[in-house]
Structure 1
C-alpha cells in the first residue's frame, strides 16, 4: 500500500463527514462547516487528473452549501497544489501525520481515565465545552460522533463531576486513530494529555491495532513534544488550500 493514500483513507474514515461525494478520485466532504477535515476535498490517489473544470465544479458545490472550497493536500497531489496556487488559493494549517508502534511497554492504561464505547451525555457536554463549540457546530459534532459503525472509545478525566480532559479513538484496519485530545486550560501541564493518549492507545492495542495514528498542527509545539515522547514519528504532512474571498 502507498503510505499516503492508505493513511489518508484511514484518517478520512475515522473522521466521518455528514455527506460525501466522489468525483474522479477526489472525495468531497460536507459537515455544515464543522472542521476543515470534514468540509474539504481530499484527492486520495496519486496521478488523478487535476483540471480547472473539476475545480470549478467543486467551487459550485461548496458555494451551494454557503462555504468556500477547501482542498486537503499532500505531496501526492503536487499538480493540484500548483493549480490551486495559480487560482489564488491560500495555504492554511500545515499538519503533521504521525504513527507509533503499539509494541512498547511505555503504552499503559491509566486508572484515572474512564472509557466508554459511546459518548454519553456528560461526555458530549464536556467535549462541547472544552472545544468551545458554537451551538450549530455542537449539533453537527453530536451527529458525527453518533455515526460510527467501527469500534470507538471515548476517554474522560474528571475532577469531581466536571470533565477536565477528554479525547477519543477509532479502530480501523491495523490502526487506532486519536482525535480531539483536549484539556481544560486550568488543568494543563499536569500530564492529563499523556494519560488520555496512553489509555486510548492501550485500548487500541487490545482491539488488535498494531499502530497509533494521529494528526497534529505542525506548529503546536507542546502537542508535538507529547506525541514524540510516546514514540510518534512523522510520516508526511498535509495542508489546506482555501478558496480566496
Structure 2
C-alpha cells in the first residue's frame, strides 16, 4: 500500500488506471471479528458508479466500493516468474491454438473464429488476440451469427493472470450477460525434466514400461480416450489439422498396452501403431504430444483408474518428451482444469508451474447445441 511521509495510507489510483494491475486495501464489511481490512490484487477492469471491479489472477472478480477504499496503488503488470521458460501470453495462446486446430476458421480483425463441429471448446471458440476491428457489441453480434450458422453455441476464450491477458474483455462479457462455463490453467516447464521423470522404456532394465508411439490415434488409443463417439472431425482436430509432413505441428500419440504396465512387459516401444491392446482391452494409459518449434504440448494423458499411482502417466509423458527433444523442442506446456488437485501435484513434481488461467464465456440465451464440454 502507498504510505505518505506522514505515515498515512493513501489512495493513489483513479479511473484513469482502469486496465492496469493494482493493489488496494478496503474496509471489510462482512469479515471475521477483528479483521477490519481486505487486500485485493488484480487488474482494475472497471470503475463505475462508485464501484471498482478488480479481476484476480484466476479470473475471479471482486467488487470494492469506492467509499470503502483505504489505500491503493498501481503495481507491476505481471509478477516476476520463478520457474519455467520465459513466454508471453500471446505466444502460448497461439501455440495452444495450433495444438487444437479447428476444421474451419475465419478472421474478424485480430480475432479468430474457430469451429470443429463442437469437439472441444478450444477448437470451437473465438480467440481474441487484439482488436476485432469494430465496436465490441458489433463484434459479438457477428460472432453469434457465425456460430449460429454452424449450429453451435457462441464461445469466447479469454485469459487472466499474465501480462497481456484479457481481464478487461472478460469483465465486458460478464457485463453483457455472457456466462463463464469453464476455467482452466495453462502450465509451462522445461522439457528435459519431463523426459527424466518416467522410468526407462521396456528393455532398459527393471521397472521399465512399454510405451508405444504412433502418428495416429488408432482404435486402441481411442478406447481409453474419455470422450466417447469421436467423430471424423474430432480425429482431424486430434491429428493436428494437417497430414504429417505437410506443414504444421508434429503430433504423437502414446499408448501403454493393457498388460504392459510394469516390469517385464513386452513390445518394441517403437514408432509403429501396433494393436495397443490385448484381446480388445483398452490400453493401460495413453497420451498426446504436439511438437511446435521450441514447444511440446501434452494432452489426453489418461490412465486406467485401476492402475493409477503406478507411474504410468509419468512414463507416457516421459516417452513423448524424449521424442519431442529429438525433434528440437526444449520447453513444455499443458492445460489442466483449475480444480484437478491430483494433476497439479503430478505436474508440479515434473517442474511445471501455472502461467495463466483461461476461461470460456458462452453467449447469453443461446439455444444452440453444446459441445463436448472439454476445455
- The separation in 2 between residues aligned to 1:126 and 1:103, in whole angstroms, is 28
- The separation in 1 between residues aligned to 2:322 and 2:347, in whole angstroms, is 15
Measured after TM superposition, the shift of residue 159 of structure 1 is 1.5
Q: Could you say what secondary structure the match of 1:222 adopts? A: helix
Measured after TM superposition, the shift of residue 191 of structure 1 is 1.7
Q: List alignment gaps of at least 5 residues for structure 2.
A: 1-85, 203-208, 260-277, 366-375
**Structure 1 residues 181, 131: CA separation in 2 closer, same or farther (over 3 Å shift)?**
same
In the alignment, what sits opposite 2:97?
12
| From 93, 116, 132, the counterpart of 2:213 | 116
**Structure 1 range deviating more: 79-88 or 51-60:** 79-88
- Is 1:128 equivalent to 2:219 in the alignment? no
In the alignment, what sits opposite 1:106?
196
Q: Could you say what secondary structure the match of 2:285 adopts? A: strand
**Structure 1 range deviating more: 3-12 or 148-157:** 148-157
Alignment root-mean-square deviation, CA: 2.3
| From 186, 202, 219, the counterpart of 2:306 | 186
| From 164, 186, 193, the counterpart of 2:284 | 164
Measured after TM superposition, the shift of residue 134 of structure 1 is 4.1
Q: 1:158, 1:164 within 8 Å by CA — same for their partners in 2?
A: yes
**Structure 1 residues 203, 49: CA separation in 2 closer, same or farther (over 3 Å shift)?**
farther
- The separation in 2 between residues aligned to 1:212 and 1:2, in whole angstroms, is 11
**Structure 1 residues 51, 15: CA separation in 2 closer, same or farther (over 3 Å shift)?**
same
**Structure 1 residues 25, 64: CA separation in 2 closer, same or farther (over 3 Å shift)?**
same
- Is 1:200 equivalent to 2:289 in the alignment? no
Measured after TM superposition, the shift of residue 124 of structure 1 is 2.7
Q: Could you say what secondary structure the match of 2:196 adopts? A: coil
Greater fraction of residues in helix: 1
Measured after TM superposition, the shift of residue 45 of structure 1 is 3.4
| From 57, 61, 69, the counterpart of 2:154 | 69
- The separation in 2 between residues aligned to 1:186 and 1:70, in whole angstroms, is 36
Q: Could you say what secondary structure the match of 1:169 adopts? A: strand
User: Could you tell me the TM-score, scaled by structure 1's length?
Assistant: 0.89
In the alignment, what sits opposite 1:139?
232
Deviations 1:102-156 (A, max 9, x none): 244734553324343411xxx4323333234343x43322222343443222111
| Moved beyond 4 Å, runs of 4+ | 46-50
- The separation in 2 between residues aligned to 1:34 and 1:244, in whole angstroms, is 20
In the alignment, what sits opposite 2:354?
234
What count of residue pairs does the alignment treat as equivalent?
241
Measured after TM superposition, the shift of residue 184 of structure 1 is 2.1
Measured after TM superposition, the shift of residue 66 of structure 1 is 1.4
Measured after TM superposition, the shift of residue 167 of structure 1 is 0.9
Q: 2:179, 2:363 within 8 Å by CA — same for their partners in 1?
A: yes
Q: Tell me which structure has the larger Cα radius of gyration.
A: 2
- The separation in 2 between residues aligned to 1:209 and 1:132, in whole angstroms, is 28
- Is 1:81 equivalent to 2:180 in the alignment? no
**Larger relative contact order (CA 8 Å, sep ≥ 6):** 1
Q: Could you say what secondary structure the match of 1:16 adopts? A: coil
Q: List alignment gaps of at least 5 residues for structure 1.
A: none
In the alignment, what sits opposite 1:93?
182
Measured after TM superposition, the shift of residue 49 of structure 1 is 6.4
**Structure 1 residues 228, 26: CA separation in 2 closer, same or farther (over 3 Å shift)?**
same
- The separation in 1 between residues aligned to 2:189 and 2:322, in whole angstroms, is 12
- The separation in 2 between residues aligned to 1:224 and 1:110, in whole angstroms, is 25
